Structure 1
C-alpha cells in the first residue's frame, strides 16, 4: 500500500528546471559545466567558477580544452575524453587541470553524454562534473612516496629496491646491457652505535648515503635495505670490471673519517658484486649471488669487495648441505666424544681432553668448521651443552670405576661463553653428576679470550671464581698473547704443536720453546706441550722445565671405551 505524500512535502517538490537552477547557483564543491558536440562550453555553475577561477562570461564559448594542461592538449586528451563519452556514455576524469592564471590542481570527475531531445544518434552535448581533490591526491602521493623511501637517509627502501631490481633486469635483457648489483655492508657500524649512541649511528648512515650518492651516476639506483646494508644497481656498465672500479671508489670514500659531533669516526665497508645476465637473470637469484659475494668479502677481512664466482656458489651449496647434515646429527644424537690423555713426566694420566667427533662429511672437516657451522645456525649452545654433559658423565663413570686424581678438559669458544645460559648449564651438570668445579678444566684459545676481553665480558673471571681450572689453548698462535697473560685468570697454557715442529734439532726453535716455558714459570702458570710425537721432544721439554705432555707419543684420541681401557691399564 502506498502512503500518499503530505501536502507540505508536495508543495516543496521542485521541478527539474528549478532543481538544475538550484545546483548551478548554489553547489560550491563541484564544478558542473556543459559543452556542445564540438567541445565549446555552454554553461558554467558556481562551483566551476570557484574551482577554476573563471566567471561565466569569461569562459562560456571557449573550448573545454583550455581547462586541460598543455601536455594533455598536445596528446589530444580533451578530444579523446569526448569521444569516449560518446562511445561508452561515460568517461572518467582523474588528472591535472588548469585554473585561471595557470595554477594546477588535481581533479576527480566524469563526463557523460547528453542525448538529443529528438532521440537522434548524435548527442546534444556533454555534461562534465568534477571536484578539486588536490589535497587528498598529494596526501596519497606522499604516502606512496614514504612507502618507497627510507625516511632516515632519503634513499629508496627495500620495497622500492625489490620492485626496481626486477624492472632493471628486464630492461638489461631487452637492451642486451650489463646490470651490476653491488651489496654494501658497513664494517664496525655496531661499534659506533655502542660507543656514541643510536643518534650518532643515524647521522653516520645519513652521511654514508650522501657519500654513496656523490660517487654514483645520476642514473644509478641506490637503496638502503635495512640496518647498515645498502644496495646499488648500475645499468649500462661497459664491462663487469667496471663494478670493481665503482667498488674501489666507494671503499675509498667510505674509509675517509666521518665527523660526528666532536668525534672523527672511522669505518670501512664490505662489498659483494653480481652481474646480470652473466651470473643470473632472475631478481632473487641475482640478489642471492651478490649476497654470497658480500659474505666472502666479509670473510676475507672486510674493507674489500668480491665478485660472485661459480666457486662461491659451489661453497654455498656445500654449506647448505652441511647445515642439513648438522641438524640431522644434532636431532639424531649422532655426535660423539673422543678423549686424548694428558700425562705428566712420570707417564701418569692427569687429565683427559674431550674432543668432538662427527660422522660423515662434517667428520672429515676440522672441528673448528663444525663449531662455526653450529654458531651460524644458532645451535652452538645446544651443542656445547651436549659436549659438557657427555664429558661430565664420562668423568663420573671413571671416578665410580676407581680412577682418581683425574680431570676432564672441555673446549669452548667466545660465542658459547657469551651465551646467557652457559654458567647455569655448567652448574646444573656439576650437580647432576656430583662433580666439583676443580674436576673440570675449561679450555679456550687466546683469540677467544681476547675477544671476550674486548667485548667486556666477565665470564672468565666468573669461571675462575667458581673454582674451574682455566687453560689457554693453542698458545702462541694469537696476536697479543703476552699482554693478556698478566690479567687473564688462567692456570695453564697449552704450548701449540707448531712450536715443536723442529724441536730439538733446530737451535732457534729450541730457544723459543725455552723462553715460553720460562715466561710461564715466572707467571706461575703450568705448561702443557701439545703435539709431542717423539721421545727426543719429550726429553727436551722435560729438561726445559715442562713436565706435562699431550700427543701421539702417548696416545691418539680414543673412544670412550678405549679411553677407559687405557686408564685401567695405567692403574695396574
Structure 2
C-alpha cells in the first residue's frame, strides 16, 4: 500500500489538473458561446471570504501539504481530497440537472434554502445570477451544520466547515442550448482525469472512488438523456425556422403580386429542401384534369408524364388522393403493382405522399405530392409539413382568386360582364398602336339605346337590367373575337372594330348591329321594343387618339339620335353643330344642378281681359348663346332623358310660386304646367304630383296639367287610367295644341279632361284667304257640347280676340295681353285690371318690360 507521503505528493498534480479542468471548462464555454443561439455574457469565479481570519482554499491546501511533509498529517488530508471531489461532483450535478454550466460547493444550507435551489434548478432559466450551496452528499439538507458538528466533531469536519465558508464560486450565465453538449464532454474528461489520479489509499479513499464512479455513471446517463432532448429540440427548432422561412417567402411574393406560377415554383422548392432525397410536384384541377403547375428535382421524362392527369388514367396516386379527400401515403411503390407506380419506380421514385387541398367552399383545387428516392415511411412531422404546404397552396390560389375578382370588378361591368369604360379605353388605345404599326384602319362605333330611361321608369330597373344584359349578349355574338365591345356607362356601348378596310365597312357593321337590336327583348311576360342610335368614327381619318375617336363617334351618335337616322358617320361638316349641341346639353345639366333655369309666366285672360290663369314656360339663358328658346331646349332634354328631372323641377317651382303669390295676398289663379310624354308614362307620376302639392301647400284646383294629343292617345287605356288618378287628386287636365293631332271624338269624349287649347296655327290663319274659322268654330262647338273649357293660344291682334270672344272661347292667351314675364312681374298683372283695354294693356306691358 503506498505511503501517505507518496499519496500526498500527487496532491499538487491533482490541484493543477483541477485548475486545468477549469481552464478547459471555461474554454468550452467560450467556444460554445460562439456556437450557441444565445451568447454567454460572462463567466467569473471569485473567492469569497467571511473575514480576514479565514484564508483561501488554496492556502488551506498548502498548509495541509506542509503538515503532511512534516509528518503531522491526519484525517484532514482525506477531507481535503473529499472536498475537492465533492465540489466537482456538485458542479456536474448542477450541470446535469439544469442544463446550464455552473459550479457549486458543499456547504450547509437550511431545508428551505435547499428546496428553493431545487425549484430554481428545475425551471427554465433565461437570465440567472446565483450562488449555489448544496449538501456534499448530493442530498437535500435537512439539518444545520451545528447539528452535524455536534454529532461528529472531528478535525476533518471542522476543516470542511472552513472550506465551506471560503470556497464559493459566483457565476453569471445565460441559457446555451448549442454549447451544452461540448461543455458536458469537457467536464466528463475532467472527471476521467480526476478519477484516475484519485485512486488513493487513504481513509475513506475507497468511498470517494465509489462515489465518483457512481456519480459518473449517473451523470453520463443524465447527460445522454439531456443531449438527446437538446438535439430533438434543436432539430424541431430548425424545422420550424425552415418552415417559417418558406412561408414568409411565399407571403412576400404574394404581397409583391408576383405571378402565381413563380409562387408555386418556390413553394415546391421550399418543400423539397427539407430532405435531400425528396422531390415534389403541384397539380391544379381544371375541368376534371390535374395540370402540372410546378415541380422540382424530378426527371424530365417523368415531368412529361405528370403534365396532365385525367380520370381515364387508372391507378394515378394524385387522382386517388383527390377522390378520397385525404392524403394518400405509399411507403413502398414496389408493393403497389400498378402501371402508374411502375412508371414512377422506373424513374427512381420509391415512395410518395400526395395531399389534396381545397377552397373555402370545400371544392377540390389540386394536389401537392412528395416523391422520395429512397423507400421511406413519413413521420408525423413529415406529414404535417406536407399538410402545411398544401394549405399554403390553397391560400395562394384563394389570394389569386380574390385578386382576379378585384381586377374583374375594376375592369369589367358587373351587370353585363363586358369590359367597362377603363378597359374599353385601354383596348382602344392598344388597337390604335397596333394599327399605326401595321398601317391599318379602325372603326369606333358609339351605341346609345333610345328612350331606355322610359323602360326603367315604366317597367322598373329589373326590366332595364335585363335589356342591358341581352343587348350586351347580342352585340358580343355579332362581332369577331378580335373586336371589342365595352359598356361605357348607362345605356351607352362602344365597339372597336380592328383592321376595317374602309368607312363603308364600318357603316355595314353598324347597320347589322341596329337590325340585331331591333328584335324585341323578352322580360317576364313582356316583349319590350328597343331601338338604338350609332355614331361612327374612323382611325386615322376622324382622329388619331382614343379620346378624339371616342368624342367624334359620340358626336356622330347624337346627330343620328336627333335626326332619327339610326346611324351617322362623323364628318367635319357635322362637327361644329354637334359640338354646340353637346355643349348646350352639358350646360343644361349644370343649370339643373345649380339652379340655372327659371320660369316665366304668360297670362290666360277671360273675355273681360282679367287674368284667370298663367302658363309656366321654361327659360334658360346660356352664357354665350343668350336666351335659348324652349323649342331647342325640350328636344335636347328629351333625347338626353333629362326631361324627367327637369319636368319635376318645373312642376315643383310653378306650384311653389303660385302658392307664394297667394300667401302674399294676390288673387288665386290656376297655373298650367306642360307635361312631357316621358313624365306622363311613369307609373308613379300621379304620386309625384301629389307629393309636390303636399310639399308646396298648393290646393289642387289651382294646378292644371297640359298634355298633347299624341301623348294621351299613344296608349289610350293606360292614359285613361293615369288621367283618372290625376283627376282624383283634384287637378285640372288640358289637351294642348288641340287640332294638330288625332282629334278623334271617339277618344276625346272618353278622356277625363277639363279644357282644350286651340293651337296657335288655327288662330293665326283666321283672317287668311283659307281661313281656319270653320275649324275653330267646330272645335269650340264640340268643346261646349262636351262641357269642356276652351283656351285660344297665340292671340296677337284685336281682330283675333274679337272673333274668339264672339265664337265663345273662354280664355285667351297671347302677346296681345302679355309676353311671358318673370314671376316678380307676373304678380303685378293680377292687379292690372282688364288687359285688353289699350291703356291698361300698355301699362301692363310697361310693367312687364321693367
1:120-269 to 2 correspondence within 5 Å? 140=400, 143=404, 156=419, 158=421, 160-187=423-450, 208=471, 211-213=474-476, 215-225=478-488, 229-256=492-519, 266-269=529-532
Query: Which of 661, 674, 684 in structure 2 is aligned with 1:412?
Result: 674
1:518 aligns with 2:518: no
TM-score when normalising by structure 1: 0.66
Give the 3-state SS of the residue equivalent to 1:275 in structure 2.
Answer: strand
- The answer to whether the 8 A contact 2:601-2:614 is kept is no
| Distance (Å, rounded) in 2 between the aligned partners of 1:315 and 1:439 | 36
Three-state SS of the structure 2 residue aligned to 1:23 is coil
Which runs of structure 2 are paired with 1:163-562 in the superposition (5 Å)? Answer: 163-187=426-450, 208=471, 211-213=474-476, 215-225=478-488, 229-256=492-519, 266-301=529-564, 303-305=566-568, 307=570, 309-310=574-575, 311-324=577-590, 330=595, 335=598, 337-344=600-607, 346-359=608-621, 364-367=627-630, 369-370=632-633, 373=637, 375=642, 378=645, 380-395=647-662, 397=664, 399=666, 407-414=669-676, 418=685, 420-430=687-697, 436-447=699-710, 449=712, 460-478=723-741, 484-507=747-770, 509-558=772-821, 559-560=825-826
CA distance in 1, matches of 2:494, 2:708: 37
Structure 1 window deviating more from structure 2 (152-161 vs 241-250): it is: 152-161
- Kindly indicate whether residue 271 of structure 2 is the aligned counterpart of residue 4 of structure 1: no
Structure that is richer in strand per residue: 1
Q: CA deviation at 1:529?
A: 1.1
**8 Å CA contact retained: 1:187, 1:303:** no
Shift in CA distance, 339/153, structure 1 to aligned 2, threshold 3 Å = closer
Take 2:400 and 2:771, find their aligned partners in 1: how far apart are those partners? 77
Q: What's the CA shift string for 1:143-190, capped at 9, x where partnerless?
A: 479666678877555554233122112223333432211123445767
**2:297 corresponds to which residue?**
33
1:290–1:11 CA distance, 2 compared to 1 (3 A):
same
> Offset of 1:496 from its aligned partner?
0.9
1:530 positional shift: 1.0
| CA contact 1:152–1:202 (8 Å) conserved in 2 | yes
Gaps spanning 5+ residues in structure 2: where? 1-39, 41-174, 179-225, 239-270, 283-294, 308-315, 319-339, 350-365, 370-388, 841-850
Q: Deviations over 1:525-548 (max 9, x none)?
A: 111111123343344434544343
Instruction: Give the CA deviation at 1:497.
Output: 0.3
1:23 and 2:251 matched: no
Higher relative contact order (CA 8 A, sep 6+): 1
**Is the partner of 1:470 in helix, strand or coil?**
strand
SS at structure 2 position matched to 1:168:
helix
**1:192-212: per-residue Cα shift (whole Å, max 9, x none)?**
889999998878767655654
TM-score by length of 2: 0.47
- Quote how far apart the aligned CAs of 1:492 are: 0.9
Instruction: Provide the secondary structure at the position in 2 that maps to 1:567.
Output: coil
**Secondary structure, in 3 states, of the residue corresponding to 2:660?**
helix
Q: Is 2:600–2:820's contact at 8 Å kept on the other side of the alignment?
A: no
358-367 or 310-319: bigger deviation: 358-367
* Preserved contact between residue 438 and residue 467 of structure 1 (Cα < 8 Å): yes
Question: Higher mean Cα deviation, 197-206 or 375-384?
Answer: 197-206
- Counterpart secondary structure, 1:272: strand
SS at match of 2:782: helix
Question: Could you list the runs of 5+ residues in structure 1 that have no partner in the other structure?
Answer: 36-40, 61-104, 109-129
2:514, 2:532 within 8 Å by CA — same for their partners in 1?
Answer: yes
Q: Distance in 1 between matches of 2:784 and 2:747?
A: 16
Question: What CA RMSD, in Å, does the superposition of the two structures yield over aligned residues?
Answer: 5.1
Tell me: CA distance 1:442–1:33, structure 2 relative to 1, closer, same or farther (3 Å): closer
Task: Check conservation: 2:535, 2:555, Cα contact below 8 A.
Answer: yes
- Count of matched residue positions in the alignment of Structure 1 and Structure 2: 484
Deviation at 1:262, TM superposition (A): 8.5
**Whole-angstrom distance in 2 between the partners of 1:395 and 1:541:** 30
Mean Cα displacement is larger for which, 180-189 or 151-160? 151-160
Q: Distance in 1 between matches of 2:696 and 2:465?
A: 45
Q: Higher helix share goes to which structure? A: 2
- How has the CA–CA distance of structure 1 residues 237 and 460 changed in structure 2, closer, same or farther, with 3 Å as cutoff? same
User: How far apart in 1 are the matches of 2:433 and 2:748?
Assistant: 59
d(CA) in 2 for partners of 1:211 and 1:532? Answer: 53
Residues 50 and 459 (structure 1), Cα distance of their counterparts in 2 relative to 1, 3 Å cut:
closer
